[in-house]
Amino acid sequence: MSRVEWTIDGMTCSGCSSRLKRVLQQIEGVTSAEVTLETRQAAIHFDQQRVNTATLKERVESAGFAVLV
């Protein structure tokens, strides 16, 4: 199991953070995702056999947010 913690740009309200959390949780291979609006952090636990960080980033970006690392 792997874990990444990213700073996310583009979240302006709790609607954004819950939408991003939902997007992350629906990705195949993601076991849990926590998104905190105040600190702009997204913590994602995932199975690296089923999904990689490039795909995770892509999904964050296609949801309208940016990964600042």
Nearer to Cu ion, 16 or 43 (CB): 16
Q: What is the chain's length?
A: 69
Nearest-approach distance from CB 13 to Cu ion, in angstroms: 3
6-65 positions binding Cu ion, by CB under 5 A: 12-13, 15-16
Give the total of residues touching Cu ion (CB under 5 A): 4
Q: CB-side exposure of 22: number of CA atoms within 13 Å?
A: 7
Sign of the torsion angle spanned by Cα atoms 15, 20, 39, 30: positive
What does the binding site for Cu ion look like in residue numbers (CB under 5 A)? 12-13, 15-16
